[in-house]
Amino acid sequence: MSEEGFFNQLERIPRELIYAVLLIGLCYVLVYPVGLPIKVSGETKELYDSIEELPDDSVVLVDIAFGAGGMPELGPAFTAVMHHLYQRDLRVIVMTLYTEGPQMYDILVVNKIEPESSYDKTYGVDWCFFGYNAGGVTTMAELARNMRILETDYRDTPLDQLQVMEGVEDYTDVDLVITFSTSSGGISSPADWVQQWATPYEVPMACVVLKMMIPTVSPYYGTGQVDALIPGAGASAEYELLVNRPDEGLASTDALSVAHLIVIILVILGNIAYFGKGGGIAT
């Protein structure tokens, strides 16, 4: 085969083959993991420390702003962080402005973490869930002024009857807000939380977002409006290590490595074919 023929062949690898290599590579390493060690990044440790340093009985407001689309990445991170919150003696208020938020709560908190049996926690005393509200940023803005605006939790129990809500009237009674968000500018985005809570009222805020959202949220982190910012991908594995709850985050670490290596190899192959065929760099 001539050199030119080889590079022509190299440039025409069928996409089906690429997809098959990707799928087989990922499946293989998921079934037979390598188990290489991972390092905990400074950012993940920052979020961990901000929860760890909260005094007992502190109030943490957790916002579920993801649905099925973000669950593979944010689900493991959410689970790991919630494990941490339940390991401490804190009051956790879970809320959602996402239509799929209640389902994420059911799947991840009720059915997976099972706080009552795993941590001896009591609903209504140690944590509560407001349920879904369709108000979007309007609800978020109003909650800062009146935490009882929704009046009942998702079981229609009046908030006044929940011990966990005792003394929680407005933003001054919330010690930390953690939002798990897939939204860059839509409902319940980190930008909304920064605009409605963190900036005007200086409430400490942590954001766990999709890795690809890090650039758009990082300006808030740089100014200190957001105190901790971690991506779901990668950081979920690190957080699972910190709270000693290995789960999907750690399980996907090797597969992430294989996926990235395949992408790098494909870029290199594509460029070898391009330059081998005589392609140049246009100025």
Partner 1 sequence: MSVMIKKQIPLVIAFIVGVILVFEWFIPTNLGDAVGTGLRESGIIINSFAIMAGVIGLYLNEIRKVSLRRDDWQYSVWMLLVVSLFILIGVPFGYESTNYQWMYNSILMPLGATMYGSISFYIAAASYRVLKFRSVQSIVLLIPAMILILGNTPMITSVWSGFTDTGGWIMTNITQPVYTGIMIGVALGTLATGLRTLLGMETGWLGRREEGE
Partner 2 sequence: MISTDPSIWIAAFFTVTIMSYAFRDNPLFKFAERTFIAAVIGHAVVMGIDSLRQFGFNKIQAGNIFYVIPILLGITILARYHSEYYWISRYGMAALVGIGVGLQIRTVPEANIVSQLTKAITLGDNPLLGVFTALTTFTVIMHFTFTTKKIHEKPQNVLPVVGRYLMLIAFGAAFGNTVMTRMNLLIGRLIFLLRDLLGLMGA
Q: Does 122 bind partner 1 (CB under 8 A)?
A: no
With CB under 8 A as the contact rule, which of the stretches 38-46, 69-77, 80-88, 118-126 interacts with partner 2?
69-77
Contact assessment for residue 245 and residue 118, using Cβ atoms and an 8 Å cutoff: no
Residue with tokens 């990922």: 26
Q: What is the largest CA-CA distance in the chain?
A: 81
Smaller CB distance to partner 2: residue 87 or 216? Answer: 216
Burial class (CB in 10 A: 0-12, 13-18, 19+), 46: middle
Residue 81, CB half-sphere, CA atoms under 13 Å: how many? 36
Interior/surface letters 262-275, b for 16+ CB within 10 angstroms, e for the rest:
eeeeeeeeeeebee
- Which one of residues 6, 8, 22, 119 is an interface residue with partner 1 (CB under 8 A)? 22
- Which one of residues 136, 186, 204, 276 is an interface residue with partner 1 (CB under 8 A)? 136
Quick one: which of 64, 61, 141 has its CA closest to 98? 64
Helix (H) / strand (E) element for 79: namely helix 71-87
Q: Sort strands 91-96 and 59-65 into parallel, antiparallel or unpaired.
A: parallel
Quick one: which of 202, 211, 207, 210 has its CA closest to 229? 207
- Of partner 1, partner 2, none, which one sits near residue 12, judging by CB under 5 to 8 A according to partner kind? none
**Integer Cα distance of 77 and 126 in angstroms:** 21
Q: Which of residues 240-259 bind partner 2 (CB under 8 A)?
A: 248, 251-252, 255-256, 259
Q: Does 63 bind partner 2 (CB under 8 A)?
A: no
- Which one of residues 1, 15, 167, 224 is an interface residue with partner 1 (CB under 8 A)? 15
Residues in the chain: 283
**Integer Cα distance of 63 and 101 in angstroms:** 9
Binding mask 101-130 vs partner 2 (x if CB under 8 A, - otherwise)?
-x----------------------------
Kindly list the residues in this chain that would bind partner 1 in the complex (CB under 8 A).
13, 15, 18-19, 22, 34, 36-39, 41, 67-72, 99-100, 102-103, 106-107, 133-136, 138-139, 141-142, 145-146, 149, 154, 211, 214-216, 218-219, 221-222, 233-234, 237, 253-254, 256-257, 259-264, 266-267, 269-271, 274-275, 279-283
Kindly list the residues in this chain that would bind partner 2 in the complex (CB under 8 A).
16, 19, 23, 26-27, 30-31, 69, 71-73, 75, 99-100, 102, 131-135, 137-138, 141, 150-152, 156, 191, 194-196, 198-200, 210-212, 214-215, 219-220, 222-223, 225, 231-234, 248, 251-252, 255-256, 259-260, 263
